[in-house]
Structure 1
Amino acid sequence: MRVFPKDLGSLFAKRPIILGETTEAYDELLSKATAAVDPTDILEAIWVKDIVDLIWESQRLRRLKAGLLLTARKTALERIIQVTDDPVSSIMRDRSELQTLGSRWLEGEVDAHAEVAAILKQRGLNLDSVMAQALSDKLIEIERIDRMIASADARRNKALSEIERRRESLARRVKSEADDIPG
């Protein structure tokens, strides 16, 4: 008899969904993982649910890390321009003008992108410089997120190993019993 999470009622009713995520995407991942592992009993079904939750958490953390870097771009751009600004030939000395440019740049305005690219080029920099500054500004948070991702991935791998170990043990028992059958 195969056991599928939908057959287990309330045990699988709760989904670890946060704002911006969909139950449909989670359910699709759970369904695909269940089909791939093909749990044979309640323990394996629980491990599959744990594995899916850990995959979901790991992917969420990766998205959040990317989002953190994206939100840090504006501040990083402002800092780079201010730090590298030459007071004698300054293009941008007014902080509010710089903040407005940063906002327009983030909104995707073509003129703002061209202006930012020109300012960065004048200083021997590029968009990678902005992202490097954003990374530097958020490095502690990113390292923390990376540790959380590594932890979720390690727990997922352990659950997968438990299923494999359990199945190998069962296969050995069945083989042993089959060998004991007179024939």
Structure 2
Amino acid sequence: MDGADNMIVNDQIELVSACDVEIPAAYKYLFADDCLIGLDSAEEYRQIRDSLIADTQPMDVIDWIWLRDLLDYVWEYCRARRIRNELIRSYMPAIASSMILAADGDEDPSGNRKKYNISVAEKAFNGDAKARATLNNLLTARGIGLEKIAFVAMQRAHDNTRYLERDMGRAEKRRDQLIKDIEARKTIVAHRMRLAAERVKLQFEAPIIPQVTGRGVDAINEEPVEQ
């Protein structure tokens, strides 16, 4: 299935099964659904949250806080992408109908064919299998590809989608910067732990040659007595 064909059905995010994910009681306050707005799906948000938890296996409070930040950035990106695709998809039925009529010579005095085409296309782009097959037949018979319909729809929606794409880009940058910060901090902590362990080892490790104090030092420096 290519990119244009993907736009026929609603976006579905494939997630890791997270039925066994359990958030410790001490950290549940971090994951309130306070970032959901409008028609956001609480179920989808929780699925993404549980998938991230299952994949990252956070260990301590810092890990959980970092995970919450990562979840916010991933959710912002997914939300913007979903809205962008829905906006583009909303243009596609009328575009498909116009292309079909243009291929047939625009002969539709009653307007019934236009209404029929739009109705079929709307159902097809919302996942109706029967309507999708009908639309594919209408388009194929006239040499019209879904890629062309998607391209025209993206052009018409550009003025609106560019703001969403900007938000997507910002969310990705914040996500990447967070991951870089985590990697840097983890590296620093690991380096400090390694140095601390070496200091402890050197401090408590018994020397091979015991230190000699007092009379013992003078005795070592004296000339040997001839027998």
After TM superposition, the score normalised by the length of structure 2 is: 0.62
CA contact (8 A) 1:15 1:26 kept: no
Worse-matched range after superposition: 47-56 or 100-109:
100-109
More helix by share: 1
**Residue in structure 2 matched with residue 152 of structure 1 by the alignment:** 171
Cα shift at 1:73: 0.6
Say yes or no: does 1:170 pair with 2:170. no
Pairing 1:16-55 to 2, within 5 Å after superposition: 16-18=35-37, 19=39, 21-23=41-43, 25-55=44-74
**Residue in structure 2 matched with residue 71 of structure 1 by the alignment:** 90
Q: Provide the C-alpha distance between the structure 2 equivalents of 1:146 and 1:39, rounded to a whole number of angstroms.
A: 30
* Amino acid in structure 1 at the alignment position of 2:154: L
Q: Percent identity?
A: 21
Q: Provide the C-alpha distance between the structure 2 equivalents of 1:75 and 1:56, rounded to a whole number of angstroms.
A: 31
Cα shift at 1:133: 1.5
Say yes or no: does 1:143 pair with 2:162. yes
* Matched pairs, number: 173
| Runs of 5+ unmatched residues, structure 1 | none
Structure (1 or 2) with the larger CA radius of gyration: 2
CA contact (8 A) 1:76 1:130 kept: yes
SS at match of 2:35: coil
CA displacement 1:6-35 (0-9 Å, x = unmatched) = 422433223534536233x43343334335
After TM superposition, the score normalised by the length of structure 1 is: 0.74
Q: 1:99 aligns with which of 110, 115, 120?
A: 115
| Runs of 5+ unmatched residues, structure 2 | 1-22, 125-130, 206-227
Q: Provide the C-alpha distance between the structure 1 equivalents of 2:195 and 2:132, rounded to a whole number of angstroms.
A: 71
**Residue in structure 1 matched with residue 79 of structure 2 by the alignment:** 60
Cα shift at 1:162: 1.6
Shift in CA distance, 39/104, structure 1 to aligned 2, threshold 3 Å: closer
* Amino acid in structure 1 at the alignment position of 2:73: L
CA contact (8 A) 2:95 2:152 kept: yes
Q: Provide the C-alpha distance between the structure 2 equivalents of 1:50 and 1:146, rounded to a whole number of angstroms.
A: 20
